[in-house]
Amino acid sequence: MGHIKNLDLREIYSNEIPSTTYLTHGIHPYTAKLIPHIPRYFIEKYTEKNNVILDPFCGSGTTLLEAKLLERNAIGIDINPLAILLSEVKTTHMDVEELKHAIQLYKENLKESEGKIFVEFPNIDYWFCNKAQNDLARIKYSIETFSSKVDRRIYKFRICLAHFKQSSLTSNFLSSS
């Protein structure tokens, strides 16, 4: 594959791929995530529309989403349940209005969540400060309440966003959500 050594994939796809986080690619961080340019290049080079692409270590689903965008069928496998969740959410079509409504519902649940639930497990104080414990408990309450009222696809989408915000230690999460 010596002939592809000097390709500038960011330059080649500067129109089609405006950033590495475009569409749902940026929905959540993931270790050793590919930039979408890489699977796009190989999918275009070695496959045709309607072919089936298998990514046996799909991680956050970068290849799966690029495959879908290029009208290929894709199968992803991963040992990590978070990877499966992200891949599913990343590649599932959702109606924007339906999603906005669900997010509104989630915010309402969050407002009423204070003091409703307490999460406990051994050494919790070692892993999380009091504020994080409280924030996580409120998010758990909101997600659980929310899950009974909306479609599973939206439920999963919202979990990803909540998890992302919490894991990136956004200090004003509860006030801005």
Please give the torsion angle defined by the CA atoms of residues 58, 157, 159 and 171, in that order, rounded to the nearest 10 degrees: 100
Work out the end-to-end distance of the chain between its first and last CA atoms, rounded to an integer number of angstroms. Answer: 47
Binding to ligand SAM, residues 5-64 (CB under 6 A):
30, 32-34, 57, 59-60, 62
Binding to ligand SAM, residues 82-141 (CB under 6 A):
83
Q: Longest C-alpha distance within the chain, in Å? A: 61
Of the pair 72, 138, the CB lying nearest ligand SAM is at 72
Q: Is 53 helix (H, G, I), strand (E, B) or coil?
A: strand
Q: Minimum distance between the CB of residue 50 and ligand SAM, rounded to whole angstroms?
A: 22
Of the pair 24, 62, the CB lying nearest ligand SAM is at 62
CA distance 24 to 72: 17
Select the span of 74-82, 117-125, 157-165, 167-175 touching ligand SAM (CB under 6 A): 74-82
The single residue among 37, 43, 78, 163 that binds ligand SAM, judged by CB under 6 A, is 78
